[in-house]
Structure 1
Amino acid sequence: MGRKVTVATCALNQWALDFDGNLHRILKSIEVATCRGARYRLGPELDICGYGCGDHFYESDTLLHCFQVLKELLESPVTQDIICDVGMPVMHHNVRYNCRVIFLNKKILLIRPKMLLASHGNNREFRWFSPWNKPRHVEEYSLPRMIQDVTGQQTVPFGDGVLSTKDTCIGSEICAELWNPRSPHIDMGLDGVEIITNSSASYHELRKADQRVNLIKSATGKSGGIYMFANQKGCDGDRLYYDGCAMIAVNGDIVAQGAQFSLEDVVIPVQVSSSKKFFFPNNSLQESEYRPCHRVKVDFSLSENQDVYFPSHEPIEWRFHSVEEEISLGPACWLWDYLRRSGQAGFMLPLSGGIDSSSTACIVYSMCDQICQAVRNGSTQVLQDVRCVVGNATYTPKDPRELCGRLFTTCYMASENSSQDTCKRAKDLAAQIGSTHINLNIDMAVKAILGIFSLVTGKLPQFRANGGSTRENLALQNVQARVRMILAYLFAQLSLWAQGRPGGLLVLGSANVDESLTGYFTKYDCSSADINPIGGISKTDLKHFLQYCADIFKLTALPSILAAPPTAELEPLRDGHISQTDESDMGMTYAELSVIGRLRKLSKCGPYSMFCKLIHIWREVCSPIQVAMKVKHFFRMYSVNRHKMTTMTPAYHAENYSPDDNRFDLRPFLYNTLWNRQFRCIDEQVSQMEPKNEQHGQDMNS
């Protein structure tokens, strides 16, 4: 038998340690759910304190403030007559757990600790929490006195239990448990649990959404029932962007979907049948093999009456964003959260006229476009936030170009080595997106610094083109790059002051993931910034993204940027044209670098295993000797420059192809750059594959 039940899930823009703000957003979501008839409200993982607290989870203050917020939730009239499911850390028997606290009418029904923790990639849950390793076991948890005073309860159930209401049965999963091969929902489904909830802090990665949707559909596709998914949304205070996608599935079909990228909180109330499918004749045999779930009886009904009712549900077709759309939307939402929460007045970008900085500029423009759309759709929160950022209580953004002019300053920093082509490309793009654009020349600052060096040493370095050594050439390039960083921060701090406007600007970086992995940038140059929206995105994806922006936003400056060879423009021009390109400097093309980089990061390849893979991947275009040379060159660059990763600008985490050693890529930064044994194994393999006469005279270690 099944009944019509109304349940609500949500995606909330929680912020680590913003207890008052998080409380407000939780209460607002409960209020919206109640107004729309919901009898159960599900929130994202750790929504009381925020998921990204990191080592603040060690602090007793964090636990204290969570219970203070829980007390206010219990006492609030908004939370009455609806089962509320919130997340917070809880200490039980001196062990810290990541928990769901489920309560109704000032009574805590169950505290459900997370059983399967996330410990890969950016996740460090084992650092702060312990898994609940007692399946089907429930203990008594002694409540703090402040909570006892509200609930009248001294202890409450704590452990792996489910709620048995008068009309259905509800079980919980928490985030990573859905992704585990032995998810709790499997046993719960076999034991007759009809509604399974999942409170998540699942962050955005390119090409990831379909995996999440397919897992949720399959969770009820086999044993039936309802699956509710809630998620964190927005920037929690770190490199990650949580992309919402709150949804509800019934019997293998998605029946309700929240936006993946949105500037507003999302609450999804849905009326669904609590009945499971009827075409599983072997379920009873399978159920007998499992220990039954511990059921906490709840004198409450999720349905409005006890009449049997089987409403039909209408499946919806999930629209997945293209990679280009994801780049346009995800980093833009992340930038907006960072800007409005930082208290700054906008962004500053050194705009070179190349693909990388132009991609960053287009992401800012996309942010402005999303803000204008949200305001047009009636979002009072977004309107309030944008008025606060621009410092005008009556301002209403209508056009993204006009808003871009208020929030975004771009700067082309020319030198004697800069070409007119790049200057024009930067100027044209700035005009089309509406940014406040500055043209300046850095030669005077560079000459002043070199003058100091010459005064002290009596020597003046020269570019290689003018007879200088490799050391001189590199030092002269680095001086230009670092001067640009200094000027970027100077203008970020004082350009609004010079205009008589309040506030400062956040400096944006624009180093892509491929260049970062090889260290093809100057330490503390203009790649050093406050945040970097493209630091986790490959050059290949950025090129596709710029083409998308050219089509969607009608930015006619972008085709010429895409057609131009990438260059740092740090060496002297030849007859007015660039003499330096990124690919010649790196010793490989961006296409080759992208393949090598993904093998290094995603496939976890060292030198030898990478060589073994590439001789098959590139067998039509490269000989084994050529492959060996490219692999060795990459690993020399990678290891020599690995120290630069420690100073990288915090970047938007777009996918597992990330060089960020501060959070994601936990490898050393001091290497034996000779790779003796590794390269020797490659040489031995090549010698077996190449004829002896081709090997004669080859210096495989050159």
Structure 2
Amino acid sequence: MGHLITVATCNLNQWALDFEGNRDRILQSIVEAKSRGASLRVGPELEIPGYGCLDHFIENDTYLHSWEMYASLLANKETHGILLDIGIPILHKNVKYNCRILSYDGKILLIRPKLWLANDGNYREMRYFTPWQRPRYVEKYVLPRMIQKLTGQVSVDFGDAVISTLDTVIGAETCEELFTPDSPHIGMSLDGVEIITNSSGSHHELRKLNTRLNLITEATTKCGGIYLYANQRGCDGDRLYYDGCALIVVNGEVVAQGSQFSLNDVEVVTATIDLEDVRAYRSQISYGLQCTQTPTYERVHVPIELSPSSITFDARIVPSRPREIRYHRPEEEIALGPACWMWDYVRRCNGAGFFLPLSGGIDSCATATIVHSMCRLVVKAAVEGNEQVIKDARRIANVQDDAWKPTDPVEFASKIFHTCYMGTENSSAETRARAKELSEKIGSYHVDLNMDTLVAAVVSVFEVATGKRPIFKIFGGSQTENLALQNIQARLRMVLAYLFAQLLPWVRGRQTGGLLVLGSANVDECLRGYLTKYDCSSADINPIGSISKTDLKKFIAYAETEFKLPILKEFLEATPTAELEPITENYVQSDEIDMGMTYEELSIFGRLRKIQKCGPYSMFLKLYHEWTPRLTPRQIAEKVKRFFFFYSINRHKMTVMTPAYHAENYSPDDNRFDLRPFLINPRFPWASKKIDEIVEQSEKGLTDNLEQLTVD
């Protein structure tokens, strides 16, 4: 007979420093895991304080309050009778560590510190923590006095060890360790560890999930074993959205998978596994030979059984079957990820909803559509009986009726979403009409206004002060005048946005609460700096600030059908334009013409710059091979130089950009993700010289070839 064991992992929507709320969600997950018969429960990384505490991890209060919450969990009898793996920061010998605590029946079994820390991209773990660089080494940790009094233990094992029960062996690795070349799960598996837990704080990026899941399934494809992956989910206080997708894998096959995007604060994933399947899978000669050569882990022996007694047979306990991994398409990820992030943000900041300057262009259209998607998710969760969502929806919408709950996304949007078309004499009737129709279809409270008198007043102030009046380039003005007149309009829209965001709830009879202003500059415009500093791209949050124009178009095409919004087709077909210059019979402003490059080219430049770590010279070399003969070497050189010039002179804009949902790995976000300086020589003179040399060599080579062909 097999050794069947039921295990549980979870997605938790934790919030940085929400100690009591985080504790209660942990407790809920434990109770639910026990109710499903699980004998092991695994939670996300640093789940007690929340993963995204950032520099709060430098404060000793964070460690004290984390221990206080953990003590209340240990003392709660509902947490007994199940082996627990919980994430917590710990101060040991005056050094701060990112740890897992494994406990059973109110007794701590082992504290396992993280060996390898995430310290690139969005992560700065080594700013707060020290890695435990002593593989397979264990020492004693003296517990805080509050824990000593509670458990009767003075000290426990601290280090890189594993738990040995009467029927199996369990080891823990944490997030980043899975992604390292020499992952701990390899050595653990070769030393007979059958169950490996991984507790993570892994964020969402478009098209990233398959990378993570490939690593998780590969971990047990080679080594065999049971792998439990837990993850945080939601916005815990910053630009990242942690996208859940808790997973249970056996011998390389997925037997249980949690959702990636959801408004549920707690999601428990369970599976029943036969330990004999692991032992049979590992009965290979090569596995056995390598086992004899691997160093051993110190085992913490615990006299408990995680699988039911093999003496009695219970037909109701059935092993979980393998299943296909579920992935969302990028268009669906855009519809769901930013929407969930925005819901967490507005409910946790006590906002009264959102305000969006709706221009009639595709970027603000995409932002509005994401809000619509959020409203659909809220309604879906409410219909399914999610009491927390219903409670939050009532509060945000300012509904006093305790029986009310959101049942229609358009009706809910009418209470919490506000849009405004801020037109000038340079605006077209088409963009105004598109904005109005979209607002009607998604239900936003819409304001349509002209701001020409405001723009004229500002220009008049300048004229009175200086005696000179700027005019647009198309009417004979200089480039400096032209740019200034465009910027006046853009910056005044920001001022109006905040005025309306503060007062529109009051206009509608609400005495307290303001609206969150939404920005709608995409990642490519940010990369190129094609936006005005402190214009209407300056907002409270930006759902699309790290999403490319190309992906936004695909999302709009998807939403047109999925959300039944035919008006979105008009946005897709329209030429992108800022509408900041006068429209004449022979001239209509175009984004791509203004920028001197296409949005597709911007995406390519962005990926080469950030992901492939290219400077101007190496970028030119890569594009030389990819774009010739479609473009000449000189044309490629001009495009590369132009990109780096404008990227450099506009780099300062990134220091004040609206906090944006992180969705793309080439984001230029200065505050967290891209730490390049903002004062750079935009000419890159030495790199430009090297590029010019290659261009000249190439052109000379082409000339020689042509002459040879003529002779032949």
TM-score category of the 2 structures, normalised to the smaller one: over 0.9
What does residue 111 of structure 1 align with? 111
Check conservation: 2:607, 2:665, Cα contact below 8 A.
Answer: no
Check conservation: 1:601, 1:657, Cα contact below 8 A.
Answer: yes
What does residue 707 of structure 2 align with? none
What does residue 699 of structure 1 align with? none
1:327 aligns with 2:331: no
Check conservation: 2:5, 2:274, Cα contact below 8 A.
Answer: yes
Check conservation: 2:185, 2:219, Cα contact below 8 A.
Answer: yes
In structure 2, give the amino acid aligned to 1:376: V
What does residue 700 of structure 1 align with? none
Check conservation: 1:195, 1:274, Cα contact below 8 A.
Answer: no
What does residue 95 of structure 2 align with? 95
Counterparts of 1:675 and 1:83 in 2: how far apart (Å)?
A: 59
Cα deviation, 1:41-92, whole Å, max 9, x if unaligned, reads 1100000000001111110111110111111111111111111111111111
- How many angstroms does 1:282 deviate by? 2.5
Counterparts of 1:129 and 1:625 in 2: how far apart (Å)?
A: 49
Structure 1 range deviating more: 218-227 or 112-121? 218-227
Q: TM-score, normalised by structure 1?
A: 0.97
What does residue 366 of structure 1 align with? 373
In structure 1, give the amino acid aligned to 2:387: T
Structure 1 range deviating more: 617-626 or 327-336? 617-626
1:650 aligns with 2:659: yes
Counterparts of 2:383 and 2:289 in 1: how far apart (Å)?
A: 56
Matches within 5 A, 1:144-543: 144-264=144-264, 265-275=266-276, 276=278, 277-307=281-311, 312-392=319-399, 393-501=402-510, 502-543=512-553
- How many angstroms does 1:388 deviate by? 1.6
- How many angstroms does 1:492 deviate by? 0.4
Structure 1 range deviating more: 287-296 or 234-243? 287-296
Check conservation: 1:2, 1:308, Cα contact below 8 A.
Answer: no
Identity %, equivalent residues: 58
Counterparts of 2:357 and 2:179 in 1: how far apart (Å)?
A: 41
In structure 2, give the amino acid aligned to 1:572: P
In structure 1, give the amino acid aligned to 2:48: I
What does residue 54 of structure 2 align with? 54
In structure 1, give the amino acid aligned to 2:292: S
Check conservation: 2:4, 2:319, Cα contact below 8 A.
Answer: no
Counterparts of 1:669 and 1:431 in 2: how far apart (Å)?
A: 42
- How many angstroms does 1:628 deviate by? 0.8
Q: What number of residue pairs does the alignment pair up?
A: 694
What does residue 84 of structure 2 align with? 84
Check conservation: 1:233, 1:242, Cα contact below 8 A.
Answer: yes
- Three-state SS of the structure 1 residue aligned to 2:223 is coil
Counterparts of 2:115 and 2:398 in 1: how far apart (Å)?
A: 47
Counterparts of 1:691 and 1:278 in 2: how far apart (Å)?
A: 63
- How many angstroms does 1:2 deviate by? 4.9
- How many angstroms does 1:655 deviate by? 2.0
Counterparts of 2:231 and 2:588 in 1: how far apart (Å)?
A: 50
What does residue 708 of structure 2 align with? none
Which runs of at least 4 in structure 1 moved beyond 6 Å after TM superposition? Answer: 692-695
Counterparts of 2:659 and 2:403 in 1: how far apart (Å)?
A: 34
Check conservation: 1:387, 1:394, Cα contact below 8 A.
Answer: no
Counterparts of 1:694 and 1:374 in 2: how far apart (Å)?
A: 67
Counterparts of 1:350 and 1:280 in 2: how far apart (Å)?
A: 63
- Three-state SS of the structure 2 residue aligned to 1:691 is helix
Counterparts of 1:235 and 1:307 in 2: how far apart (Å)?
A: 47
Alignment gaps of 5+ in structure 2? 705-712
- How many angstroms does 1:623 deviate by? 0.5
Matches within 5 A, 1:654-693: 654-691=663-700
Structure 1 range deviating more: 279-288 or 611-620? 279-288
Counterparts of 1:369 and 1:171 in 2: how far apart (Å)?
A: 41
1:5 aligns with 2:12: no
Check conservation: 2:390, 2:405, Cα contact below 8 A.
Answer: yes
Check conservation: 1:235, 1:241, Cα contact below 8 A.
Answer: yes
In structure 1, give the amino acid aligned to 2:391: Q
- Three-state SS of the structure 1 residue aligned to 2:513 is coil
What does residue 709 of structure 2 align with? none
Note the aligned Cα RMSD (angstroms).
1.5
Alpha-carbon spacing, 1:177–1:278, altered in 2? closer, same or farther (3 Å): closer
What does residue 636 of structure 1 align with? 645
Alignment gaps of 5+ in structure 1? 696-702
Cα deviation, 1:547-575, whole Å, max 9, x if unaligned, reads 00001111111111111110000011104
Cα deviation, 1:381-422, whole Å, max 9, x if unaligned, reads 211111121122332111111111111111110001000011
In structure 2, give the amino acid aligned to 1:399: D
Counterparts of 1:295 and 1:83 in 2: how far apart (Å)?
A: 16
Counterparts of 1:142 and 1:568 in 2: how far apart (Å)?
A: 63
- How many angstroms does 1:303 deviate by? 1.4
In structure 2, give the amino acid aligned to 1:271: T
Q: TM-score, normalised by structure 2?
A: 0.96
Counterparts of 2:103 and 2:606 in 1: how far apart (Å)?
A: 48
- How many angstroms does 1:674 deviate by? 2.0
Check conservation: 1:273, 1:311, Cα contact below 8 A.
Answer: no
Counterparts of 2:300 and 2:348 in 1: how far apart (Å)?
A: 41
Counterparts of 2:702 and 2:14 in 1: how far apart (Å)?
A: 66
- Three-state SS of the structure 2 residue aligned to 1:646 is helix
In structure 1, give the amino acid aligned to 2:485: L
Counterparts of 2:587 and 2:310 in 1: how far apart (Å)?
A: 78
- Three-state SS of the structure 2 residue aligned to 1:349 is strand
Counterparts of 1:252 and 1:591 in 2: how far apart (Å)?
A: 38
- How many angstroms does 1:691 deviate by? 3.1
1:586 aligns with 2:587: no
- Three-state SS of the structure 1 residue aligned to 2:111 is strand
- How many angstroms does 1:432 deviate by? 1.2
Counterparts of 2:27 and 2:261 in 1: how far apart (Å)?
A: 22
- How many angstroms does 1:578 deviate by? 6.0
Alpha-carbon spacing, 1:279–1:166, altered in 2? closer, same or farther (3 Å): closer
Alpha-carbon spacing, 1:578–1:144, altered in 2? closer, same or farther (3 Å): farther
